Amino acid sequence: MTASTTAPLTSRILISHSEHESFARMFQLLGGSAVPLDYLGHAKARGFFRGDELVAGYVLNARAPYRYSSWVPTQTRAELQQRGYLVEATCAELTCMWMSQEISKLERNRIYIQSVIDAFGMGKRFIFAGSRVEKVARIQKRSLSKSVYKGEATFEGMCEMYCATRYAMVAHFVVAVIARYAKDVARMIRSDLTRRGLTTDHIRRRLKQI
């Protein structure tokens, strides 16, 4: 393992034009669609760095035009706005999330936690996100649980958009973390028991003897 991959992960809000260019380039390189630099200029882009290298990031935006508005057909967009979604008075969007392959599981979790903190700090009633990738959508919907659109996108393929109130987002995220932590602990216990040559049947027999 090289020194660059063991350096601690740091993060900051990206401000300069060159940082926005690097963010947009990396996001598109990893499969995302083009991100206009003027959009990053009025949004809040957070970058995660290992040393001087940008290795992950996401964007929060509370100003129209919303990036997700361009994903859905005009009629659907109008219907969402009538329901109070994707309008400046009530909504912020979490978008353009990307992570390089070198990001560890622990660091990935840290990025998700920071995104929830930043999203809550936007002060809007609703937090929106969306994805064209089912795996990403599944992870994000652990905290943004209400699906508001799933269907044909304005670009080629399908997309899904989902949201939650900012307080519900935090509550759902805490529940998801606790559930995941419990599963990890159970997995560690099973692994340790297996290493010791114990099975579930062994433990049940021992308990009956107590």
pLDDT of residue 166: 94
Sign of CA dihedral 117, 122, 125, 128: negative
pLDDT tops 80 at residue 124: yes
pLDDT of residue 207: 47
pLDDT of residue 136: 79
pTM of this structure: 0.81
pLDDT tops 90 at residue 151: no
Which CATH architecture describes the domain 3-209? 3-Layer(aba) Sandwich (3.40)
- Mean pLDDT within 36-41: 95
pLDDT tops 50 at residue 181: yes
- Mean pLDDT within 34-54: 96
pLDDT of residue 33: 84
Q: Among the listed ranges 4-18, 83-97, 164-178, 181-195, which one has the minimum average pLDDT value?
A: 181-195
Q: Say how far apart CA 127 and CA 187 lie, in whole Å.
A: 33
pLDDT tops 60 at residue 1: no
pLDDT of residue 190: 64
Q: How far is CA 100 from CA 30, 39, 48, 92, 93, in A?
A: 8, 22, 10, 25, 22
Three-state secondary structure call for residue 51: coil
Mean pLDDT of the chain: 86
